[in-house]
Each structure stands twice: as structure tokens, then as C-alpha cells.
């Protein structure tokens, strides 16, 4: 409660300082806040207030704010800054964060910023811009600590004091040979407790886990999660150290990948922002909806094939939405389990066949339970024991197959090198609608004489 009141007090004082154009009062209050709180305050301000803030803060101070704002939200802020000031802010940002932001901009705008940027900073950024998106090279930073194995601990400590202020992290120190190849790693703790005259190669660990510069970011995220790394080195094919990927970058990757998978499960190309226009949103959703429309038409024509059965036993139509809905729901649940297992690499532990068997068994158990319940409900409600038995059997078969299909389809897509997340909820639901109708009316047609007798 006290923290909330303190934050509100900061906001009130900052608004007052902006209104009265009190530069020093604003700076004093603003610098007393946590960087995240600074970013949230800045982001919530109208454009005229942000223009004031640009004048009150240095490029270095503003770079901290930009690093604490969601990547997709930063581009408009750089566009409204004076271009030279914006280029100075980019130069002060962590290289990987600057690259991520520039990758969201038009190439002409990027070229303009790089042209007026400090030469050294521009060169660092250019080195990372040419790497393919969503690879290790695109998310790594070149601000790391590298030592040579022939150095003494004393020499290394002296060098560390000089380069540490600009490094992204100093908890891992990477060791190179004379050809600048990665040969070892040691922790800051190892360096501190070692004797001053000890050679780095004597205290380093040669077991270095690294990733190639072209490795997919999602695979790196899984690896860092499994190994509990704070950072991982990035190398080229000759084992030269190019950069490092830190845990904060990986958290952004995990968030991005989760959002991407969620959007695919919802059958849209990506998660639309609140301010996305209706025409743009419709364009992104229409391809999947049109595919589902044709699948729906196929479902309708399939029902038409059982028109004679429906004419003789019209009551069957009452339970169509029930069976189709149950199939869609259980299929989506199974899909979520399968996609998550594929995304997290859990199949390495239990195997895909094991998952399919488990899901099929789960479907059989849930289907049998629901089948017994619906049989009793229909008998009590309609006094029709055989009708209840028919619907119950249909639900058992439908839920078993629907659950199995929810796990099989993404596994097949993964085998075909297609992102399994595109086996979206609406797609699985429509497929299971078709399966449930075939099962329900197929069984009803076979036992039609018992229903009409």
C-alpha cells in the first residue's frame, strides 16, 4: 500500500513539474523512480508531454526508458524525436535492444539513423542487423567480457574493472585463445577467489556450452531453461566468440513465442493490438475463416446425407450440438497438451506414441463417464432408454477419437516441418464436428429400426 501511495505521489509531482516547466524538479522526482516506473510514466504521457521529457533527459537516461518499454511500442517514440537525438539514444542502448527496435522500422529510416549515429556504435549495430530474424545472431549482444587464457588473474581483474561498466553481464567471463576462439569459461566468483599470479587457463572450465550464430531462438530458450544459464555464448563455425545471449533477452523470446503460439491457436496470423484497425484485423483473420467456411459447408452437406434418418427420427437433431460441442472441446484440450509438449521438448522424455496412447485413454475414460451420464439423463428426461444408449455410445466413440485427433494432428504437422501451432482450435473443432456427425448418424442409421420400432 505504501509503495502504491509513493508511486502515485511521484506521478502527481511529475505532472505538476511538467505543467509548470520545472526541469530540475522533474529530474529530481523522475530519477528517484525505478526504470520500469519511469518507462510506464513516459509511455502514458501525451505527445506534448513526451516532447518536454526529451528536452529534460539525456540520451543515456532516455535509453534506459526505451529498454524497459515493449519492443513493438518503441518505434513511434523514436519517430517523434529529433533524428539526431534519436540516433544518440540508439547509441546509448544495449546493442541487442537497439537492433531489435531498428528491425521493427522501415529500412530507409534505419539507414537514416545509422548515417548520423556515432561511427563506433553504428558499426556494432550493423554487425547484428544482417543476421536472420529469430536466430541467435539477431538477439545476441556484443557487450560481454572476454579474457585470454594466458592472462594472470591480476591482469584479468584490472581489465575487468575497465570493461565491466559497458558489459551486459559480468557473472560469466569467457576465455579465448590467441586466435580468439572460445576455449573456456569461468564465473566472477572463480576469478575473485583465485590467486593473483594464477593463469586464467588454470581456473577456467573447458566445458563450455555454446550456440551457433544461426540457431533458432526458441531452441536457445529451451536450452537456457534446462541448464539454468544466466547467459550463453554465441559462436561461428570456427568457434570464434561473436556475442552472448542473456536471460533477459530469452525472457523476451519466450514471451514472443508464447504470443505467437497463442495467436495461431486462435487461428489468426498474430495477436492484434487494441489499436489495430478493423480492416487490418479482418485481413489477418479472413484466410483461416474462409478455410473453415468451406469445411463448415462440407459438414452441412454431410448432414444432408443423413436426411432420411433425420426425417424418421427427428429427435436425433436435438443432440447434434451436444455431441459436436463435446468433440470440439475435448479435441482442443488435447491439442493444447500436444502443442505445449512439442514447444517445451517434453517428448524427449515420454515419446509421441506414449502421449497419443495417454490421450486416447483419457478420451475413453471421459467419454465413458459422459456417455453413462447422458444415457441416464435422456432416459429420465425422455423415457427413451435406447435413444439414451445410442447418444451415450456416440459420445464415448466421439470423445475418444476427438481426443486422439487433437494430439495426432499437431504431431503429424511437426513431422512434416509445419509449425504445430497452426493446428488451431477452430481447425480441430471443425474436423471433430465432421467426425462426431459421421459417428452419431452412422450409429443411428445402423440402429434405425430400433429407434422407429
Print burial letters for 210-223: b (CB count within 10 Å at least 16), e (below 16): bbebebebbebbbb
Strand-by-strand arrangement of the 231-235 sheet: 211-212, 231-235, 241-246
pLDDT confidence of residue 274: 45
User: Which residues belong to CATH 3.10.580.10 in the chain?
Assistant: 146-260
User: Which residues belong to CATH 1.25.60.10 in the chain?
Assistant: 2-130
- Over 60: is that where the pLDDT of 349 sits? no
pLDDT confidence of residue 426: 66
Say how many residues make up the chain: 453
Lowest mean pLDDT among 44-53, 304-313, 325-334: 304-313
Residue 406 and residue 420 in contact, taking contact as beta carbons nearer than 8 Å: no
Q: Which CATH architecture has domain 278-452?
A: Orthogonal Bundle (1.10)
Cα distance between residue 416 and residue 422, in whole Å: 12
Higher pLDDT, residue 222 or 234: 234
Q: What is the mean pLDDT of residues 330-349?
A: 70
Cell triple for 360:
486416447
Cα torsion angle, 221, 413, 332, 330, sign: negative
Cα distance between residue 261 and residue 178, in whole Å: 44
pTM listed for this prediction = 0.56
Higher pLDDT, residue 292 or 252: 252
The torsion angles phi and psi of 34, rounded to 5 degrees, stand at -70, 145
Cα distance between residue 248 and residue 227, in whole Å: 15
Higher pLDDT, residue 329 or 146: 146
User: Which residues belong to CATH 1.10.357.20 in the chain?
Assistant: 278-452
Lowest mean pLDDT among 175-179, 244-248, 266-270: 266-270
- CB half-sphere exposure, 5, CA atoms < 13 A: 2
pLDDT confidence of residue 271: 46
Cell triple for 314:
427427428
Lowest mean pLDDT among 88-92, 237-241, 408-412: 408-412
Print burial letters for 163-184: b (CB count within 10 Å at least 16), e (below 16): eeeebbbbebbbbbeeeeebbb
The burial of 245, by beta-carbon neighbours within 10 Å (0-12 exposed, 13-18 middle, 19 or more buried), is given as: buried
The burial of 409, by beta-carbon neighbours within 10 Å (0-12 exposed, 13-18 middle, 19 or more buried), is given as: buried
Query: In sequence order, what DSSP letters do the residues of 178-231 get, joined into one string?
Result: TT-BEEEEEEHHHHHHS-TT-BHHHHSBS----EETT-BHHHHHHHHHHHT-SE
What is the longest distance spanned by two Cα atoms in the chain? 99
Cell triple for 365:
475414460
pLDDT confidence of residue 153: 92
Q: Which helix (H) or strand (E) holds 46?
A: none
pLDDT confidence of residue 134: 83
Residue 125 and residue 102 in contact, taking contact as beta carbons nearer than 8 Å: yes
pLDDT confidence of residue 276: 52
pLDDT confidence of residue 272: 46
pLDDT band at residue 218 using 50, 70 and 90 as cut-offs: confident
Lowest mean pLDDT among 11-25, 169-183, 209-223, 272-286: 272-286
CATH class assigned to 146-260: alpha beta
Higher pLDDT, residue 369 or 8: 369
pLDDT band at residue 419 using 50, 70 and 90 as cut-offs: low
Question: Mean pLDDT in the chain?
Answer: 82
According to DSSP, residue 246 is labeled E
CB atoms within 10 A of CB 148: 17
pLDDT confidence of residue 132: 84
Query: In sequence order, what DSSP letters do the residues of 122-145 get, joined into one string?
Result: HHHHHHHHTSPTTBHHHH-BS---
According to DSSP, residue 315 is labeled G
Q: What is the mean pLDDT of residues 227-237?
A: 89
Lowest mean pLDDT among 79-88, 166-175, 236-245, 316-325: 316-325
What is the 3-state composition of the chain as percent helix, strand, coil, each rounded to the nearest 5?
Answer: 70, 10, 20
Lowest mean pLDDT among 2-11, 239-248, 374-383: 2-11
Cα distance between residue 67 and residue 371, in whole Å: 55
pLDDT confidence of residue 277: 58
Cα distance between residue 423 and residue 136, in whole Å: 27
CATH class assigned to 2-130: mainly alpha
Residue 229 and residue 247 in contact, taking contact as beta carbons nearer than 8 Å: yes
Higher pLDDT, residue 288 or 409: 409
Radius of gyration of the chain (CA): 30
Amino acid at each position: 500500500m505504501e509503495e502504491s501511495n509513493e508511486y502515485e505521489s511521484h506521478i502527481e509531482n511529475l505532472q505538476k513539474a511538467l505543467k509548470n516547466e520545472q526541469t530540475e524538479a522533474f529530474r529530481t522526482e523522475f530519477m528517484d523512480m525505478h526504470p520500469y516506473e519511469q518507462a510506464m510514466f513516459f509511455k502514458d504521457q501525451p505527445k506534448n508531454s513526451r516532447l518536454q521529457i526529451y528536452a529534460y533527459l539525456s540520451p543515456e537516461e532516455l535509453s534506459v526508458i526505451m529498454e524497459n518499454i515493449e519492443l513493438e511500442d518503441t518505434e513511434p517514440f523514436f519517430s517523434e524525436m529529433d533524428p539526431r537525438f534519436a540516433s544518440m539514444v540508439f547509441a546509448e542502448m544495449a546493442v541487442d535492444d537497439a537492433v531489435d527496435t531498428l528491425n521493427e522500422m522501415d529500412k530507409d529510416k534505419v539507414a537514416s539513423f545509422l548515417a548520423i549515429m556515432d561511427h563506433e556504435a553504428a558499426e556494432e549495430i550493423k554487425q547484428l542487423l544482417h543476421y536472420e530474424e529469430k536466430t541467435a545472431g539477431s538477439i545476441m549482444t556484443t557487450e560481454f567480457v572476454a579474457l585470454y587464457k594466458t592472462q594472470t588473474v591480476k591482469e584479468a581483474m584490472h581489465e575487468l574493472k575497465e570493461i565491466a561498466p559497458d558489459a551486459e553481464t559480468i557473472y560469466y567471463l569467457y576465455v579465448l585463445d590467441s586466435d580468439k576462439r572460445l576455449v573456456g569459461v569461468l564465473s566472477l566468483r572463480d576469478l575473485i577467489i583465485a590467486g593473483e599470479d594464477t593463469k586464467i587457463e588454470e581456473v577456467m572450465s573447458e566445458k563450455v556450452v555454446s550456440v551457433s550464430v544461426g540457431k533458432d531462438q526458441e531452441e536457445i530458450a529451451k536450452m537456457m531453461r534446462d541448464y539454468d544459464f544466466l547467459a550463453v555464448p554465441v559462436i561461428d563455425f570456427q568457434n570464434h566468440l561473436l556475442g552472448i545471449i542473456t536471460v533477459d533477452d530469452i525472457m523476451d523470446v519466450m514471451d514472443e513465442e508464447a504470443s505467437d503460439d497463442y495467436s495461431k491457436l486462435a487461428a489468426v496470423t498474430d495477436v492484434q493490438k487494441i489499436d489495430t484497425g478493423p480492416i487490418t484485423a479482418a485481413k489477418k483473420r479472413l484466410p483461416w475463416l474462409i478455410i473453415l467456411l468451406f469445411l463448415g459447408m462440407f459438414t452441412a452437406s454431410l448432414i444432408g446425407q443423413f436426411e432420411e434418418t433425420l426425417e424418421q427420427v427427428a429427435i436425433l437433431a436435438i443432440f447434434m450440438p451436444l455431441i459436436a460441442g463435446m468433440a470440439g472441446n475435448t479435441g482442443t484440450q488435447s491439442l493444447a497438451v500436444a502443442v505445449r509438449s512439442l514447444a517445451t521438448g517434453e517428448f524427449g522424455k515420454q515419446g509421441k506414441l506414449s502421449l497419443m496412447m495417454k490421450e486416447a485413454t483419457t478420451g475413453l475414460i471421459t467419454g465413458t463417464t459422459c456417455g453413462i451420464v447422458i444415457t441416464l439423463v435422456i432416459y429420465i428426461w425422455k423415457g427413451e432408454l435406447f435413444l439414451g444408449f445410442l447418444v451415450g455410445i456416440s459420445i464415448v466413440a466421439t470423445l475418444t477419437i476427438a481426443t486422439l485427433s487433437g494430439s495426432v494432428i499437431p504431431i503429424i504437422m511437426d513431422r512434416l516441418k509445419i509449425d504445430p501451432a497452426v493446428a488451431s482450435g477452430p481447425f480441430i473443432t471443425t474436423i471433430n464436428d465432421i467426425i462426431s456427425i459421421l459417428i452419431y448418424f452412422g450409429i443411428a442409421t445402423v440402429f434405425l429400426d430400433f429407434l422407429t420400432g
